[in-house]
Amino acid sequence: MRLIAAAASTSLIVLAAACGASGEAPGQSNAAAAPRGAALETRAANAPDQRPAFEGQTRAPAVRTDQAMIHRVVASGLEHPWGLAMMPDGRWLVTEKPGRLRIVTGEGRISEPVQGLPRVDARGQGGLLDVAISPEFARDRMIYWSYAEPREGGNATSVARGRLSDDGARVESVQVIFRAQPTYDGDKHFGSSLAFDQQGHLFITLGERSDKPMRPQAQDLNSHMGKTIRINADGTIPQDNPFVGREGARPEIFSYGHRNVQGVAVQPNGAVWTIEHGTRGGDEINLEKPGANYGWPEVSYGIEYNGQPGPWVTAREGTEQPVYYWDPVIAPGGAAFYQGAMFPGWDGDLLVAGLKDKQLARLVIENDRVVGEERLLTDLGERIREVAVAPDGAVWVITDQDDGKLVRLSVAS
């Protein structure tokens, strides 16, 4: 094991109370109670002629946390970390995109690579991606990971599971429980995040592989591309999945019409939310509904990344609108709903990692709508890939850099 100095970097952030706040407990936001205020986002839109489908769908009002906060770099030297999952003993599983899985302690000690993982295709956006622990980890020590799997003729996203050995040195009895089809020779839009719901179903998010010839597969129910997948923990298919028994449809599909979903979070009430890399001006937050069509590539906000208008509309009957979208984009990564005593005013808020703008977005959710937005860790100056909440209420993130870091955000003592 190698020791990375804890507290290598510490920054104190003191945030004033929101303008107009009155009688709030420390850490509370007044977004729900106050009239709609000035939008947090003030930059010019990429698609200025597009209009949201409803008020608050984009450019939510700014909110601020009135607690003093501090972030501490706990570990560094990780190579493009992608996935983050806490084990019951407080240690973290962290994936590195080139194909390594590490165990990192709360004091910053990084293990040697865990042995036994299959080979990955670490080109472009591919590699070793997300990681999750079994809901029964204390009993079965099973872990799950997604990765770009090299295959004859190309690659695609796969999900495997295995038992983490008692000493944490290797995974045993590795089994691939899902393989996205079809195989494609590309290096973009693999997805893919993993999350278990309260019933033990595993949600897997997938991209449509980016290239224009592949985009229509997001609407093709015989393809896994551009879909949210729902399977059981052993890889079998829940019989209440929306397309079970439908001819020409893959039964693992839960929803479709997605572009590149790299975040998924389960709300305390059991609702599943996905975070999607959209077009230039079209990053989305979606509330998942079984069998729903989220539109891509026929329905979207934003424009093509080359600056040209896209061949799509912003709304169409039979497709779902995003709960929220960013224009300009933040390039969202992973997400987590906040529950914890450390920041009581954040309870139920959605935390979304931001790659392009190097920030962590806090979104105040009320009645399935975004009513306020705050941007945190902006002074860290690194691409934030994933976020998780520890049992004590501290927020942990990893940064997607050559010298990637594990960072803890907490109240200042």
- Reported as a single tens digit per residue, the pLDDT across 188-246 is 999 999 999 999 999 999 999 999 999 999 999 999 999 999 999 999 999 999 999 99
Q: What is the mean pLDDT of residues 44-66?
A: 97
2-411 classified as CATH 2.120.10.30? yes
Mean pLDDT calculated for residue range 22-51: 66
CB 227 within 8 A of CB 255: yes
Mean pLDDT of the chain: 92
Q: What is the pLDDT of residue 18?
A: 32
Return the pLDDT at 37: 79
pLDDT of res. 413: 81
- Model confidence at 4, in pLDDT bands (50, 70, 90)? very low
Q: Give the pLDDT band of residue 32 (cuts 50, 70, 90).
A: very low
**pTM as predicted:** 0.92
Domain boundaries, the chain: 2-411
- Nearest alpha carbon to residue 395 among 385, 383, 387, 403: 387
The 10s digit of each residue's pLDDT in 78-93 is: 999 999 999 999 999 9
pLDDT band at 10 (very low <50, low <70, confident <90, very high): very low
Predicted confidence band at 19 (pLDDT cuts at 50, 70, 90)?
very low
pLDDT of residue 36: 58
Q: Which helix (H) or strand (E) holds 174?
A: strand 171-179
The catalytic residue positions are 189
* Cis amide bond preceding 309, omega within 30: no
Distance CA 374, CA 52 (A): 20
* Residue of 360, 80, 124, 85 lying closest to 202 (CA atoms): 85
Write the CB contacts of 368 (distance below 8 Å, at least 6 apart in sequence). Answer: 271, 287, 323
Average pLDDT over residues 91-97: 98
In this prediction, residues 50-79 reach a mean pLDDT of 97
